[in-house]
Amino acid sequence: MLPPGTYRQCLYAQFGRLHCIALYNHRWNWWGGSSDITVQNSILWADVAHPINVGGHGDPDSPTGEVIENLTFRNIDILEHDEDDPIYQGCMTVDCGDKNQVRNILFEDIRVENIQEGRLFYVKVRFNEKYDKQPGSGIEGITFRNITYTGIGENPSLIQGLDKERTVQNVTFENVVINGERMKDLKGVVTNDFIKGIKIKSRRNNRK
């Protein structure tokens, strides 16, 4: 677990089935939500796992579930992603299970060099019987801004809610460039009926 704070100028390299950065809620002897964490100016090499994985584990016995919120991942280079199991693929993953609610996550100024097997974006409310005792509660307010990918071999990105009560809402893609082409729509992205408020901004906005 990472306590609240800012983590700068880090090199994370993991080999085997370990994530470079994984931010959860309840896990082992830790209870409660996770919030107000920034990871920036870092290089990630995940090999067989996620470079960035948010939202997986929580407290399924909590009456209301736990919240993970207000996370920022900024100015990061991802060198590799090689995961052969489709349900565990994603360079930038928000994968919500165990009654977790995930909200207000920013991925900004991230460069991805290569995907041998995997997906660029993976945003899903899940119920994975291997790891979860309860399904995730929902995902809201995810922004991918100034993301570039240069490589081949990736599977389609994915955005899916679980059902009409456990949805993915308000996801924004802003200035996402994939092999020189700006993302303009959800063509090629795997979706379902339980997502809403998805926005694509194909040009960089001037921000003060």
| pLDDT tens-place string over residues 52-67 | 999 888 888 888 889 9
Judged against a pLDDT cut of 60, whether residue 113 lies above it is answered with: yes
Is 207 contained in some domain? no
Is 206 contained in some domain? no
Is 208 contained in some domain? no
Q: How far apart are CA 18 and CA 3, in angstroms?
A: 19
Q: What is the pLDDT of residue 7?
A: 46
Is 82 contained in some domain? yes
Count of domains observed in the chain: 1
Judged against a pLDDT cut of 70, whether residue 14 lies above it is answered with: no
**pLDDT, tens digit (0-9, with 9 covering 90-100), for 119-175:** 999 999 998 888 888 899 999 999 999 999 998 878 999 999 999 999 999 999 999
3-state secondary structure of 176: strand
* pTM of the predicted structure, to 2 decimals: 0.87
Mean pLDDT calculated for residue range 96-122: 93
How does DSSP assign 95-146, residue by residue? EEBTT-EEEEEEEEEEEE---SBSBSEEEEE---TTT-SSB--EEEEEEEEE
Q: What is the pLDDT of residue 4?
A: 59
Q: What is the pLDDT of residue 6?
A: 56
Which residue range forms the structural domain that includes residue 49?
A: 5-201
Q: How far apart are CA 105 and CA 141, in angstroms?
A: 6
On average, the pLDDT of the chain sits at: 86
Residue 100: name the closest of 73, 78, 82, 127 by CA: 127
Q: What is the pLDDT of residue 132?
A: 80
Whose tokens are 């990871």? That residue is 39
Per DSSP, 179 falls in state: T
